[in-house]
Copies of this chain bind each other. A is one copy, B any other.
Amino acid sequence: MATYHHGDLRTAVLAAAGKLIEKEGLGGLSVREAARRAGVSHNAPYRHFPDRDALLAALAAQGFSQLGKALEGRSGRELGEAYVRFALGHPQRFRLMFGGQLALDRYPELRTQAEATHGRLTAAFAGLGAEAKFAAAAAWSLVHGLAQLILDGHFENDEGFVTKVIGAIRFAVGPQRSA
């Protein structure tokens, strides 16, 4: 059997929790169950996360990082589609990231990761003058809301639909020649 000391429990717990969340939903994730899956006593995770919320925050931060990678190098409507695709591919993770139960202020890493993603979004709208900020915000809002509403079952989950919705808008001070 393995050693008494696990070696990399933090990672193991995160992985277990990640699987749990995606299978059982956010409510189905308990620290104890994650510990069980990692083959460790119910209390061990507390050596690595001060409390349950901290574990959630770590999962969310991980999610932001993944989302960042998924958006890398894309722009225009391709970027939007990638955003939605990520949300639909990792629904529970996405919910966790934007569920609002995590106080952004309390978990610095979370904030950092989130802002990195934010930056990626706004970067795609650079060079549009003063209005760029609002256009970027609108773009993010659009794809974010779209993803959320599909996840909630208010819209059909269909690739073509997403494309058409994203295509249905133009930016007031925008790049008509977007990719």
Question: Using a CB–CB distance below 8 Å, which chain A residues touch chain B?
Answer: 25-27, 91, 95, 98-101, 104-105, 114, 118, 131, 134-135, 137-138, 140-146, 148-149, 151-155, 161, 164-173
Contacts and interface: CB of A to CB of B under 8 A. Distances in A.
Nearest to A121: B154
22 contacts: A26-B101, A27-B101, A95-B100, A135-B169, A137-B146, A137-B149, A137-B155, A137-B168, A138-B165, A138-B169, A140-B145, A141-B146, A142-B142, A142-B169, A144-B145, A145-B145, A145-B146, A145-B148, A148-B148, A168-B172, A169-B169, A170-B170
Give the number of copies in the complex.
2
B100 A134 contact: no
